[in-house]
A and B are shown apart, each in its own frame.
Chain A
């Protein structure tokens, strides 16, 4: 069984300061992990993904995430926040389902990032 826990429902930072969005997962298999971003009234856009290659994954817009198996974490970071980063961020785990053997996504509950000027 898989699950995803986003530890903060809401994070507020000042423009130009670092961003840290935390995510922990549990999985029976070696999972694939994703971060998606949803801007207000928009669809979801892939930021980055981990698929058992390099543990430090670089994504779009300066975001990166590090897969730490020992801590079962996949935290999302960015060195310097921009106003346009204000959005909802979802941590997502993908692993084969027990019933079908096909991969399915399980979403975290989301973290709303607010960027103050």
Chain B
């Protein structure tokens, strides 16, 4: 069974379109994340949710809106796509612990190409 799954795996779309990426984890974790990996492989956190509550919201354009219907799902909706949004988007989950560095489990990534 896949622990963290994302759909779609590949997404090719035109500038200006709206698209969504879905993420689901079956690990029973209470925290989920979205990361963006640019063309130089640099990974940066975008959002973090804990039990459906937004915890981290980095400096991300308002066109990006995460939605967590329950703690096993964290979807990412992107409005008015731009060329610079082309990247690989990774979903991750963890069981948050206060004192010990938690391990984050990553999905396979969604490769978004905006034309």
Residue ranges of A at the interface with B (Cβ–Cβ < 8 Å)? 31-34, 36, 38, 41-46, 49-51, 88, 90, 94, 97, 100, 102-105, 107, 109-110, 112
Q: Is the CB of A88 within 8 A of B41?
A: yes
Of all chain B residues, which has the CB nearest A93?
B101
Q: Is the interface of A mostly helix, strand, loop or mixed?
A: strand
Q: Which residues of the other chain, A, contact B43 by a CB distance below 8 angstroms?
A: 44, 90, 107, 110
Q: Which residues of the other chain, A, contact B4 by a CB distance below 8 angstroms?
A: 43
Q: How far is the CB of B95 from chain A (nearest CB, A)?
A: 12
Q: Is the CB of A100 within 8 A of B55?
A: yes
Determine the interface band of chain B, counting residues with CB < 8 A from chain A.
20 to 34
Q: How far is the CB of A62 from chain B (nearest CB, A)?
A: 19
Q: How far is the CB of B3 from chain A (nearest CB, A)?
A: 10
Q: Is the CB of B42 within 8 A of A109?
A: yes
Binds A, one of B12-20, B44-52, B61-69, B71-79: B44-52
Q: Is the CB of A45 within 8 A of B101?
A: no
Q: Is the CB of A102 within 8 A of B55?
A: yes
Q: Is the CB of B56 within 8 A of A103?
A: no
Q: Which residues of the other chain, B, contact A51 by a CB distance below 8 angstroms?
A: 100-101
Q: Which residues of the other chain, A, contact B92 by a CB distance below 8 angstroms?
A: 44
Q: Is the CB of B106 within 8 A of A43?
A: yes
Please report the C-alpha to C-alpha distance between residue A102 and residue B103 in the assembled complex, in whole angstroms.
Answer: 14
B23-52 contacts to A, CB under 8 A, are 40-45, 48, 50
Given A103-B96, A109-B40, A94 contacting B102 (CB threshold 8 A) = yes
